[in-house]
Chain A
């Protein structure tokens, strides 16, 4: 039997039934009497000054209750204190096609849409910036006047002595990598319902309640307070079920404030739900990124220096930009032991929708570049890529060169697991003679763990890897070549320094225990599908030794739940988990001291287990009657059965409420001292003693984990880091360039898997999302116009081409995590893209430096390698040596002539189009 009762078991999410049966209510399912529908007018121009807005015709339309514009809420806001540059509705300027201009609240959607067409906006067009490198050279017409050269933020970090490092290197690789823009594509579009209660004294709109699909209810409450100028105490934010966030809902999205402004103006509840196109404009996805990367290594594969210059095309607003660009640098050199690192990061403004946080925030694109280059170095030095990674491991506990404290480090085990499970050696190498196998010597033993077998395994593959060009191998009968690639990644378990720069706890959880043993956990953590409510319930049940079904979680309602910073940067399990643990310990202490008197033992000898409380040593007595606990975990029906038996186990103590506890007490005294008591009895004993049974716990990261003192040191430090290694097996069709991923082996160090099925779900989801970015997903732009603002043309992988993903959980048991747990939701994503690109190289010998690896890019690279007829890609982009971002090949003409022009055509407004710096193609 495991040392735990509830954690470590595959448990169905507490909201699983609601979601799978369609009973669950998401924000757009909500409705109120008298509710109006809000629709937003968006800018058709990428960059323009608003000369005037006339809403009178729209207001006159029957059914329209209110029309609001930027003037109704002129205060700027932004998720970062240093980046308050947004208006919910534009005040003077629009900065991308889709920027928010006005909002109509009307009796129904059709009326609101009709009214939008009646709003007259006069624009003065401005030159627009689309390419980040051009934008950085701007001398005027800046996206934001207070950001010269359109640079939102730049950071220049040097750790160690990179110049010396490169001088000592035996081999230096250098290349430009380009990652195109991707977005979250969460299933649920953003939706917000805002309603005011009338103030009893003035009759004017008073308290505000907002239901919203958000990952950050408390930040939303704060920004609403700021923009609407209402105290936070008079704003209640409730997060209903959320259909996925992935970072796209981790900051305040314009509709959330717009709905409240419109509700205030209309004196009625207003709901806004974005169309999919509007979701693409709200965006906050992963910016397209240029990475100029240089890595130096010794002949044995040891990395001596790395230098990166990273440019991120951040779009029209700050958003999380400075954090993204800092993560890109902070996590660059912290996965491995790299003594010398230089990082130059530029977050650039352009006239496109704002980028923000997206799963694997900041690390994904740079990790793609680094892991690809590491593969290149391994090939050049004739080393096994897996072994090169093993030779550069950190030696924890340690502090990385940029000041990140690492306590638990499961990366070596992750590498070993994927290497073993994928038959890495056999797949990469020619068949090895039996006699060679006898001749193995283990390499470095310095990883701080015992793994003799795996080491010899790697050593073996190293010998076999001294071989010719990869493209000579594996010709398959179907004209496809197979290959395998490996890559690693890591991620934070929450930021050690909160973005609001406050010393308050990052998470707080309150518990209340009722007389019948029901436990209510009040947590501000936002369940967005990742399983945070289940995690809270599990930790509480584990600590209290009670049945999981006793625990009800009340989450993410700012009137009821204590402050939690939200669901982003993979912080919830670590931080909210620790707060849950402490809250439960708090309650447990109170129950234990009451129970100790009854059990006639010391408080320290009271044990909570199996929905019972007993004196230490009396486990056997206590365990026998509870069927829910002893069953081995794993069986699929185990989950269902344990929860149904748990319901039975929750029966009341006889007469506890009607006849009061006096009788209960008397009966117990009659029976004299006992070895054990039921959980309810113990709870009643504690309540009778203290009057109410509540507890609280909170978590703030320790000072040692908060990083260095240099400018920008605040981003990157985390109390703990997750680690991932992956092997991808692909085949490439050399005639078409199509890449098929056959299987991905993914090992993830999550500290401890509190709920293994949830961890696997998160890892598989991350790998799948990485697969999408690697092969298919790409936002295609033409002069700031998004060519594919829908899920038909923005292609997330379908089930048809999704490979088998074998997930292996590695448990490094972090000393500070709740029961040793770390993050599981994001860290795996970044390894998938380079694992696939490395596998493509292994299969056909082309090194793709532009992601995604669409078939045309792969074919163009293959053609170039073979010196065959060149495949003309748009603007002669070479995916093995990309220079700039590709643009869609059509023509964007604002002007034309002829009688057939549509009345809404912007060209009819007779506005002179200012010359755009990007003009001239086609």
Chain B
């Protein structure tokens, strides 16, 4: 379908943007890279009267060093993140995750802010108006039933961003600008795990920055993504692993999963399972079990839920082993600044 009619607004500063949002909150939609929103507009998943295009806010672009950590503007493209030597060195898991998003062309357009705020996806939702009409619509949009979990009243559309699990592992915080100024929240408190109300962001608020702490800088990390096609695809399951090692033992660790729940989720109990131990196949598999138990894949995408859960297990095991191996073979430069917090 053609794009719906809307008025394009182009603020030049964050203040202008929040002002516009405050004015049009209920009728506005934010566009950054547009790689997710534009197809959705054509499918009439949204029909906003105003489209607030952030791309003129130069302030929100780029990666800056801050207190030993990094500060990433929400408009920074995934290509910029993929190519940043600082990120590759300090936060390899984010580098890896950014590299797997969609395809090179889409990464040139897509932004980190957009990837964090990505709409949840479902085969019954990401379809044209005509298609959704044929199936009687769904609970996430225009309807009152869920085709994935019939009888339930919860939307199970899967969060399918690649970078958020990496950011969760890195204990990233995000900065949100609103009418009352800015606030910071840990990314782990941003998502709701409800498919049709995926994040705690008011309609008059704006994600402006991603803050990576010094604490996790230099941790080894691996991102693994299940997909059928070698490029372009959203993850059908994704896992991020980061490890901090002390001598031969794991000092601290995080695992987060994506595309198998309505939110990217940190896997509980990973640090406990790994801390103080030397990683081997058996321990890695235990972590895989933890991750698989956290995953609740449903028929929201291609490949069966059983298989996707199984891959969370296998990919986690492999990623844990690989992260441990990376750490051993490639000693990294210690991050500067106060790194003794743990």
Contacts and interface: CB of A to CB of B under 8 A. Distances in A.
Interface of A: 42, 44-45, 97, 109-110, 113, 275, 277, 735-737, 775-776, 780, 785, 787-789, 792-793, 795-801, 854-856, 859-860, 871-874, 888-902, 904-907, 922
B340 interface: no
A860 to B, nearest CB: 8
A793 B228 CA distance: 10
Nearest to A889: B299
Contact of B299 (A110, A775, A888): A888
A874 B304 contact: yes
Interface string B111-143: 000000000000110011111011111000011
29 contacts: A42-B130, A277-B131, A736-B226, A780-B302, A787-B123, A789-B127, A789-B128, A792-B233, A795-B228, A795-B229, A798-B103, A798-B232, A800-B229, A800-B231, A801-B229, A855-B228, A855-B307, A856-B306, A888-B123, A890-B299, A891-B147, A891-B150, A893-B135, A895-B136, A902-B143, A906-B133, A906-B134, A906-B136, A907-B136
A896 B150 CA distance: 10
A275 B128 contact: yes
Given A277-B128, A788-B123, A792-B232, A904 B133 contact: yes
Contacts of A906: 133-134, 136
- Chain B contact surface mostly: loop
B311 interface: yes
Contacts of B303: 854-856
Given A736-B311, A793-B123, A275 B1 contact: yes
A797 B123 contact: no
Interface string B296-313: 000100111111001100
A854 B226 CA distance: 12
A913 to B, nearest CB: 10
B181 interface: no
B134 A97 contact: yes
Contact of A896 (B2, B143, B306, B310): B143
A240 to B, nearest CB: 23
B88 to A, nearest CB: 20
Contacts of B5: 110
Contacts of B103: 798
A789 B133 contact: no
A776 B133 contact: no
In the A-B complex, the 7 residue pairs with the closest CB atoms: A800-B230, A801-B230, A902-B142, A856-B307, A898-B144, A44-B134, A798-B231
B22 interface: no
B9 interface: no
A901 B314 CA distance: 41
Nearest to B317: A735
Contacts of A776: 228-229
Contacts of A275: 1, 128
B241 to A, nearest CB: 17
B144 A873 contact: no
Contact of A905 (B130, B133, B302): B133
Interface string B1-29: 11001000000000000000000000000
A633 B70 CA distance: 57
Given A736-B311, A854-B228, A859-B307, A897 B134 contact: no
Nearest to A786: B131
B148 interface: yes
Interface residues of B, number: 43
Interface in B200-221: none
Interface in B289-336: 299, 302-307, 310-311, 314-315, 318
A898 to B, nearest CB: 4
A900 B145 CA distance: 10
Given A798-B231, A888-B299, A901-B144, 18 more contacts: A42-B130, A109-B2, A277-B128, A277-B131, A776-B228, A788-B302, A793-B302, A799-B231, A800-B229, A855-B228, A873-B304, A893-B150, A896-B136, A902-B133, A902-B137, A904-B133, A906-B133, A922-B150
A44 B133 contact: yes
Contacts of B147: 890-893
A900 B5 CA distance: 24
A776 B315 CA distance: 20
B135 A892 contact: yes
Contact of B306 (A277, A871, A891, A894): A871
Contacts of B124: 890
B118 to A, nearest CB: 14
Nearest to B130: A42
A582 B307 CA distance: 60
Nearest to B1: A113
Interface string B69-107: 000000000000000000000000000000000010000
B195 to A, nearest CB: 14
Most B CB within 10 A of own CB, among A113, A896, A899: A896
B145 A904 contact: no
Nearest to A899: B144
A113 B304 contact: no
A896 B144 contact: yes
